[in-house]
Amino acid sequence: MKNSTGNVPGLALIMVGQGRDSQTYVRKKLGACEEAGIQSKISTLPENCTEDQVLNALSCFHEDPSIHGILVQLPLPQHLDEGKILNSVHLEKDVDGFHPINMGNLAMWGREPLFLPCTPKGCIELLIRSGVEISGKKAVVIGRSNIVGLPMSLLLQRHHAIVSVVHAFTRNPEQITREADIVVAAAGVPNLVRGSWLKPGAVVLDVGTNPVKDPSCEYGHRLIGDVCYEEASRVASAITPVPGGVGPVTVAMLLLNTLESAKRAYNFT
């Protein structure tokens, strides 16, 4: 693309506050951009900034033709209206895929979202590249958030899986999960899914990234998933580890969405 058009894809990040986790994720995304030859820009705003300041940062990136994707690092501080801010990201630069129109198009047959949310897109990519058949298979998605669970269940349906959703109000999660050929765990509850929850041979995607105290680690904590890896890996036919599984693939999908956006902008195929 650089050789033919003289341009490279550009990604802009907006980070509010100095949350340690947000900083880590932003650093990883910036590092990945550099590695892939994607230009990145970052706007860092103070924790107590106003909504207008965030919207202004967004406007600057909307107007910047070298930027093809904009990402607002979540979570935002409580005093900011997350919905309003995410709705303000222009559809053509919504590489996170969280805009209601992108989400709505994902939910409707015959419509195509401009961008798929990165984590669910990464999960599907992992299944496809691992040769796991999705069509006609029973899938259970644990969690139904806008960011992961909901788009994951919609995307699995697009790939013709038979999808059940387990959430905080589900009475018999073990029983439902035990029927699944594919399990996507995205509840944010450490070690929620035990080996006994799984059908032998199930494929498990562990999206959860939960910090647990560990004084021997940098920052005094380490990350564990929603799945008890030790037990589940004895029952599953394939499983993603935490860390080092879905997380890096999510970042890769962000870069891919940015590249796709830049290709659209420069009419480059």
73 tagged catalytic:
yes
3-state class of 267 per DSSP? coil
Catalytic residue among 2, 18, 28, 29: 29
CA distances from 93 to 88, 114, 259 (A): 11, 9, 11
Catalytic residue among 73, 94, 137, 181: 73
Shortest separation between residue 27's beta carbon and ligand NAD, angstroms:
15
Pairing assessment for the beta strands 162-166 and 69-72 based on DSSP bridges: unpaired
29 tagged catalytic:
yes
Catalytic residue among 93, 94, 96, 137: 96
Give the nearer residue to ligand NAD in terms of CB position, either 43 or 177: 177
Give the nearer residue to ligand NAD in terms of CB position, either 240 or 265: 240
Scanning the structure block, which residue is given the tokens 């590489």?
A: 95
Q: Which strand (E) or helix (H) includes residue 158?
A: helix 149-158
Shortest separation between residue 143's beta carbon and ligand NAD, angstroms:
3
DSSP 20: H
Give the nearer residue to ligand NAD in terms of CB position, either 46 or 244: 244
State the residues that interact with ligand NAD by CB under 6 A: 119, 142-145, 147-149, 166-168, 170, 173, 186-189, 192, 207-210, 246-247, 250
Give the nearer residue to ligand NAD in terms of CB position, either 12 or 246: 246
Give the nearer residue to ligand NAD in terms of CB position, either 66 or 170: 170
85 close to 72: Cβ distance less than 8 angstroms: yes
138 tagged catalytic:
no
Residues annotated as part of the active site:
29, 73, 96
